Amino acid sequence: MNIRNLYRAYLTALILLLTQGTLGATVKLSDNLFILYGGGGKGANVGIIVSPSSLIVIDTMVSDSRDLLLKELSAISDKEVSLVLNTHDHFDHSGNNHYFSGKQVDIIRSIDFDGTSNKFIAFQGELVIKQNERIIKGYNVRSHSNSDILYHLPEDNAVFLGDIYTDEWYPSFFSGGIEGQVAAIEKALSLGDENTRYIPGHGKIASRDDLQRYSRLCVSWHDRIVALHKQGLSPSDMTKDQQLRKIRESFANEKTNRENFDRWFEKLVENTLNSHLSLSSSAH
Ligand SMILES: [Zn+2]
Ligand SMILES: [Zn+2]
């Protein structure tokens, strides 16, 4: 299995795990912004923005959640969806894209998004979306996937993170490596302030402090793995390292007792190391 296929297999398994969280409800953050919590196999969290003339949706859950998503949208407003914004191309975030593109809804995504449709609008770098008086800014970053986009809603002081951060899992910066991870968090922090609500693809709304803590943990995790690699340890040996176990436990305690965790732990280490090795070799 080559590295790309290995990532793919790993990410699919990771996505399945991430979608097994607790299913939440729709919560109102402001008159114009709602969050439909994913989890429970339903897919990622969804942002629902009410503009004067229409609805804008950030991520579209898994395809099986279409009825739930449409029901929640119509409970918020009878306006039509005019735009879908994807945080990245994983299926738990984009499962109903085709439903919306079939309804002639434009879909904004990164140029590196893995999938096609004539209703897709791809961009690279930065994008400003203006709908009536409402502004949404999109920024390409590369950390969790090749197609990561942060969406900033200045009026609501909210930033949608996709999967560059989560309080439900472990580091997954396998596309951008640690540098991409740190840069993505830095970018998200630069868009906000002490009161910004950071909405992850999975899990609870985060604060500035949560993001900073996560970024520091990712660096410790990465650095420890690279140091152990330099000492000649294999990923399997590394899972026995007390320091690395401690770092791992700081990410998400509640998941460390799951069955077969040791195998997962090794996979996490292996993926971190592989992304480090492939990114550092392509840099030279
Ligand atoms: Zn996800
Ligand atoms: Zn993802």
10-residue mean pLDDT profile of the chain (284 residues): values are 54 50 74 94 96 95 97 96 94 95 89 66 84 88 94 97 91 94 98 97 95 97 98 96 93 64 89 93 66
Angle at 189 between CA 278 and CA 87, to 5 degrees: 60
Cα of 202 from ligand 2 centre, angstroms: 9
Q: What domains can be seen in the chain, in order of their start residue?
A: 3-282 (3.60.15.10)
**95/60 Cα distance (integer angstroms):** 6
Q: What are phi and psi of 84, to 5 degrees?
A: -115, 135
Q: Model-level pTM?
A: 0.88
Q: Residue 152 Cα, ligand 1 centroid: separation in angstroms?
A: 18
User: Which distant-in-sequence residues (6+ apart) come within 8 Å of 138 by Cβ?
Assistant: 85, 108, 123, 126, 127, 128, 129, 149, 150, 151, 152
| Cα 183 to middle of ligand 2, angstroms | 17
Q: Which ligand is nearest to the CA of 39?
A: 1
Q: Which ligand is nearest to the CA of 144?
A: 2
**Ligand nearest, relative to CA of residue 148:** 2
pLDDT at 123: 76
- What pLDDT score does 262 carry? 81
Å from CA of 88 to ligand 2 middle: 7
Six-digit token pair at 247? 């770092």
What is the reported pLDDT for 19? 44
Ligand 1 center to 46 CA (angstroms): 11
- Expressed in angstroms and rounded, the spacing between residue 191 Cα and the centre of ligand 2 is 21
Residue 111 confidence (pLDDT)? 78
Smallest-distance ligand from the CA of 200: 1
CA of 130 relative to ligand 1 center, distance in Å: 26
Name the closest ligand to CA 172. 2
- For residue 40, the CA-to-ligand 1 centroid distance in Å is 12
Sign of the dihedral through C-alpha 89, 90, 91, 93 = negative
Counting ligands in written order, the one closest to the CA of 16 is 1
Half-sphere exposure of 219 (CA within 13 A, CB side): 12
Residues 6+ apart with CB under 8 A from 114: 89, 146, 147
Find the ligand nearest to 147 CA: 2
Q: Which of the ligands is closest to the CA of residue 17?
A: 1
Q: How far is the CA of 4 from the centre of ligand 2 (A)?
A: 15
Cβ-based burial of 56 (10 A; exposed 0-12, middle 13-18, buried ≥19)? buried
Q: Which ligand is nearest to the CA of 44?
A: 1
- 242-255 pLDDT tens trace: 999 999 988 875 55
Give pLDDT, residue 261. 79
**Ligand 1 geometric centre to CA of 87 (Å):** 9
Is residue 283 within a helix (H) or strand (E), and if so which, with residue range?
Answer: none
Helix (H) or strand (E) holding 199: strand 197-200
